[in-house]
Structures are given as C-alpha cells and as structure tokens.
Amino acid sequence: MGIGKLYQSIFRRKSVRSYETLPLEAAATEEITSFIPGLKPLYDIRTDISIVPGDSIRGIFAIKAPHYLVLSSENSEGYLENAGFILQQMDLALSSMGLGSCWVGFARPSRGIPVKEGMDFVIAMAFGKPMGSPHRESLSEFNRKPLDKIANVPEDPVLEAARFAPSSTNSQPWYFIRSGDMIHVFCRSLNRLTGKFYEKFNRIDIGIACCHIWLAGLHQGKNPVFMKDRKSAQAMPGYDYILTVSGI
C-alpha cells in the first residue's frame, strides 16, 4: 500500500460499527495479509498481527464483524505506542480499500486463538464490508479539538493530520509542542484510578497520532525520525512526555 493512499485516508476514514455478515473473499483477505510484513514499527519491538473470525472475539464492546485483526506484542517499553503506530497503518489501508474498520477496546480473543510465545495480546480491530460508506463526506464530520487546543501552534499541516487521529472514546489525550524541525509528543497524565482503566488506551492512541505525523511528514518529502529527547522537551503541566519527532 502506497504512502500517498494511507495519507489521503487520514482525512476520509471513520470508525465503522455495522458490517455485512458475509466474510470477505479470499483474494481480499490475502491482499490484507500481504500488507502486514511491510508495516513500519515505531520501535524495534517484536509483534504479531493475525486475521481471525469475528465470532472469536469476546467482550462487552465487541462489534459484530466478519473479521478482526489481532495484534500481540512483546511487553517492553513503548509497546503500546508501537502497537497503535503499526495497526493504524492497517486501519488506513482498509479504508483505502473501501472497507470498514474499528478499534475495539475491552475485547479479546477467545481461548481458541493462540498468542505467540513471549507475547501478550494488545488490541483488536474489527473489519469487513461496511453497512454504508466507510468514508466521511467532509472534514466537518470529524469531532476534533481545534489545533490550538492540542498544540502550541495555531496552524501546522503535519499536526493537522495528527488532529484527525482516532482515539478511545474520542478522548484525544495528546499535546504537541513544535520546536523548529522537532515535535515533542505528550500524553495526558492520569491519576491512579483513571490510569488503571485508560492508560493502556491513551498510549495506543499516542501511537496512532504518531502514525499520522509520520505519514504527513513523508507526504511533505521529509524524513521523520522518532527518538527520546527529554532534555529538549520542556515540561508540560498535566501531561507526560512520550517522545520526539525530528526532521519534520
């Protein structure tokens, strides 16, 4: 899947929760499977993505869909952000194919779906033929905070792409500080109670937003590099520093 198509999907995709019940044709699932080896990771962390039947996913928020993508990962520093970064590429690819998809939290595979040794289940994504269009008609359909509420700049084409990133319960837990050719990425701090329920999803959401930043940078002919640079990143009250994107 070309970078250009993924970038264009940022401004069209939507979360689809209603699907036709019939599975996709084998050619379509084979094409989707072929994307997986080429997905770019945020960090060098071992992951696995599998396509499983929709009825193998359990949970109170599970969606009735013919298929799910299941992402498992080594449990190491940054693995949640890495998972969001990787699987968002699949979300955008599915949208570009005219298929629907939706991130599904608080759901997990049934016991019959094995997880590779040394990995933990992280997150699942429903997908299939949508009941209706998988695309938004205009940018006005996005319910997102204005850029000056999530960044220290009023206009920025790269951060505008991040602004349209999906997030759990549309919480938009990010804040971005632009400093020259660097963007420092922060995540909203949580207390002990809220952190127990939402920290995992907030970190995945940060990875999703970073995926949009990476694609927007490539679209502009730049070479985004992700790194830790706490010394350059000023403190942001109410937020935790996550990473820095340079060369953008």
- In the chain the domains, ranked by start, together with CATH numbers, are 3-128 (3.40.109.10), 143-246 (3.40.109.30)
Residue 218 structure tokens: 């490539």
Q: Residue 19's pLDDT is what?
A: 98
Percentage of the residues of the chain whose pLDDT score is greater than 70: 99
- Coil, helix or strand for 112? coil
Q: Residue 234's pLDDT is what?
A: 81
Q: Residue 229's pLDDT is what?
A: 86
Is pLDDT of 1 > 70? no
Q: Residue 235's pLDDT is what?
A: 84
Q: Residue 115's pLDDT is what?
A: 80
The per-residue pLDDT for range 33-49, each reduced to its tens digit, is 999 999 999 999 999 99
Mean of the pLDDT values across residues 17-28? 97
Round the average pLDDT of the chain to a whole number and report it.
94
| Cα–Cα dist 185/131, whole Å | 36
The per-residue pLDDT for range 95-154, each reduced to its tens digit, is 999 999 999 998 989 877 778 889 999 999 999 999 999 999 999 999 999 999 999 999
Mean of the pLDDT values across residues 9-26? 97
Mean of the pLDDT values across residues 12-17? 97
The per-residue pLDDT for range 89-109, each reduced to its tens digit, is 999 999 999 999 999 998 989
Buried b (16+ CB within 10 A) or exposed e, 222-242: bebebeeeeeebeebeebbbb
| Cα–Cα dist 127/12, whole Å | 16
pTM: 0.96
